[in-house]
Amino acid sequence: MTSRRLQPKIAIDMTPLIDVILQLIIFFMITTTFRAAPGISLDLPGSKTAQTISSSALSVVVMSENEIYVDKARTTLQGLPNTLRQRISGSDTDQVRAVLEGRAGASYQLIVSVLDAFRMNGIENVGLITRKEKIVR
């Protein structure tokens, strides 16, 4: 008869490790911030009469002639009229509201060209986004 030795079962309890990992995931999910817009940081021009608006139907962000975003879809100044036409197809152009957001250093001609593209597509209700200047007293 051979003698058998009792060998202890060695097992690692993974429950505390899983709990810590899940808590870290929840922590990072809560503390993470997301950008609205297409992830572009803009330096908006200032205005003393700026007002806050809640939402709009069509959002246009102008960075340069080669970088214009229509509701997060990238286009150029030459492609803007076609992109706007596709975006508003099937809707009444009198009811379409648009918001134009341009970089503070954008040229006046570029902004006028974008406004012309709106008019060529029958969009007359266009608002300009600015940042509110702090009043120093």
pLDDT digits (tens, 9 = 90+) for 37-58: 555 666 778 887 877 655 446 8
Phi/psi of residue 121, nearest 5 degrees: -100, 5
> pLDDT tens across 55-110, in order?
446 888 898 888 899 888 899 999 999 988 888 877 776 778 888 888 888 888 99
Residue 19: count of CB within 10 angstroms of its CB? 10
Q: How many domains does the chain have?
A: 1
40, part of any domain: no
Residue 10 in any domain: the answer is no
What secondary structure does DSSP assign to 31-50, as a single string?
H----STTS----PPEETT-
Instruction: For residue 6, tell me if it sits in a domain.
Output: no
Taking the whole predicted model, whether its pTM rises above 0.95 is answered as no
pLDDT at 17: 92
Whether 74 is in a domain gets the answer: yes
Whether residue 7 is contained in a domain is answered as no
Asked whether residue 5 is assigned to any structural domain, the reply reads no
15 in a domain, yes or no? no
Dist. CA 121–CA 16, nearest whole Å: 61
Here the CATH number for the domain that contains residue 108 is: 3.30.420.270
Range of the domain at 89: 46-132
137 is a domain residue: no
